[in-house]
Amino acid sequence: MEKKIKIVTVVGTRPNFIKIAPLIEEMRKSQRIKPILVHTGQHYDYEMSKIFFDELKIPEPDYNLGVGSGSHAWQTAKIMEKLEKVLLKENPNLVIVVGDVNSTLAGALTAAKLNFPIAHIEAGMRSYDKTMPEEINRLLTDHISDALFVTSHLDTQNLLKEGIDQREIFLVGNIMTDVLMEQKKKVSNSILKKLGLQKKKYALLTLHRAGNVDNKENLKEILSAIKKISERIPVIFPVHPRAKKMINFFGFKRLIKEIPNLFLIKPLSYFQMTSLVKNSKLVLTDSGGLQHETTVLGVPCLTLRNVTEWLITVKQGTNKVVGTSKENIIKEAFKILGSKNRSFLEKRKIPQYWDGKTAKRIIQILLKYYVRH
């Protein structure tokens, strides 16, 4: 009997859990592959972690490193220290990392030091803002990876400009779309009923990035803009633990209470969040994931940052980067609320290969070109 190919996949955060769900499913279908799942524990809160595994039917991780929270340097080093033991024990044919978080870089660095081939999913994305830790993670991971799987032709261009060999770059589409295509059929609207919401009669807000929630001025500008927007439409705000902590730290609880049409709720499961996004009139966010989910679902999205790595969603999708200025956020939100969203939706075009088959393409390419026997 032919020996199975051993592929270690390293994940650590909620977006990564979603991304690897279709990938693990495809690997389990293959008789040639033995998948090994490593959860670094970078995100460890139950409501924001384990429920994603349950809903998306991701198998229990073979290893949970249990690293938890800490500074970027500490967290990356701790993951590397613990992951090295796992890789030495398993001796995989390939290591897969996804996205741009500390677990991504730590996984790639550990594999590179041990001379294991690396595949990076969501390679080539650039915001060109090196103050963002995610940008550093993307850059370094791409330049030590062997197979670079990109979501759009814009990401391919970024890599070619940086001198990466065309033969190492594969346009496969957006793996998050695999999940969205599959799960949106199953998503119920029970969360709307629970929250007393009507379709297209509310806006959705998410905040979690350090540049916003750790910056007192930026956070105040955003919340002040939301106060004005909420006079026109209710705003639902699933509060990320980091945002909650910093709202309390900066003494903004009073400001929040002065926004009567802002409704703070606990973090949601993937199904619940997808339902809220799909049925909203408008999404305001600093999340990368919501920028491309709104593009697929046809929902106007205002990105509360000055740059985005998801440039394809601006050029082809329903996304607009508006920064953190109170005046600009209000102006752009009112444009949407005062129209039928035609300016956003008429230009919408689903990017190439965002068709729900990205995981299949990745596995086919890996088996053909990159697995060392």
Binned at pLDDT 50, 70 and 90, residue 45 comes out as low
Distinct helix (H) and strand (E) counts, the chain: 18, 13
Which segments of 151-232 does DSSP mark as H helices, in order? Answer: 153-161, 175-183, 190-195, 210-213, 216-229
Do 197 and 334 lie in a common domain? yes
Give the lowest-confidence range in 106-110, 115-119, 289-293, 337-341.
337-341
Mean pLDDT along residues 65-76: 91
Report whether pLDDT(91) > 70: yes
Res 339 pLDDT > 80: no
Asked whether residue 154 falls in the same domain as residue 216, the answer is: no
Reference 4, options 32, 26, 45, 43; nearest CA is: 32
Q: Which three-class secondary structure state does DSSP give residue 275?
A: helix
Same domain for 154 and 203, yes or no, is: no
**Active-site entry in 208, 240, 292, 373:** 208
Claim to verify: residue 278 and residue 215 sit in the same structural domain: yes
Neighbouring C-alpha atoms within 13 Å toward the C-beta of 71: 2
> Rounded distance, CA 37 to CA 251, Å?
41
To the nearest whole number, what is the mean pLDDT of the chain?
A: 92
Q: Is residue 185 part of a domain?
A: no
Cα separation of 103 and 184, whole Å? 28
Residues 264/240, Cβ–Cβ less than 8 Å? no
CATH number at residue 288: 3.40.50.2000
Q: What percent of the chain has pLDDT over 70?
A: 94
Catalytic (active site) residue 292: no
The band of 187, judged by pLDDT with boundaries at 50, 70 and 90, is: confident
Residue 60: predicted pLDDT: 87
Indicate the residue type of 113: K
Please report the pLDDT score of residue 140 as a whole number: 98
Amino acid at 207: L
Say if 182 falls within a structural domain.
no
| 1 has a pLDDT exceeding 60 | no
Joined tokens for residue 275: 């339902």
- Burial string for 220-234 (b: 16+ CB within 10 Å, else e) reads ebbbbbbbebbeebb
Those residues whose C-beta lies under 8 Å from the C-beta of residue 53, and which sit 6 or more positions away, are 17, 60
Q: Please determine, for residue 174, whether its predicted confidence score (pLDDT) is greater than 70.
A: yes
Per-residue pLDDT, 18:
86
CB-based contact 170:365 (threshold 8 Å):
yes
Mean pLDDT of 25-44: 90
35 located within any domain: yes
Domain containing residue 250: 190-345
Provide the domain count of the chain: 2
- Other residues' Cβ atoms within 10 Å of the Cβ of residue 87: 20
Are residue 360 and residue 337 in the same domain, yes or no? no
In tens, the pLDDT along 216-271 reads 999 999 999 999 999 999 999 999 988 999 999 999 999 999 998 999 999 888 88
Least confident piece of the model among 20-24, 103-107, 164-168, 267-271: 267-271
- Please indicate, yes or no, whether residues 337 and 362 belong to a single structural domain of this protein: no
Indicate if 247 and 280 belong to the same structural domain.
Answer: yes
Q: Using an 8 Å Cβ cutoff, are 239 and 267 in contact? A: yes
Residue 179 lies in a domain: no
Determine, yes or no, domain membership for 212: yes
Q: Judge whether 181 lies within some domain.
A: no
Q: Which residue has the higher pLDDT, 69 or 293?
A: 293
**Residue 165 falls inside a structural domain:** yes
Let me know if residue 272 belongs to a domain.
yes
Contact 130, 105 (CB under 8 A): no
Do 150 and 225 fall within a single domain? no
pTM of the prediction?
0.92
Max Cα distance, the chain (Å): 68
- More confident call, 54 vs 287: 287
Q: What is the pLDDT of residue 343?
A: 66
Residue 373 is predicted with a pLDDT of 44
Cβ atoms of 120 and 97 within 8 Å: the answer is yes
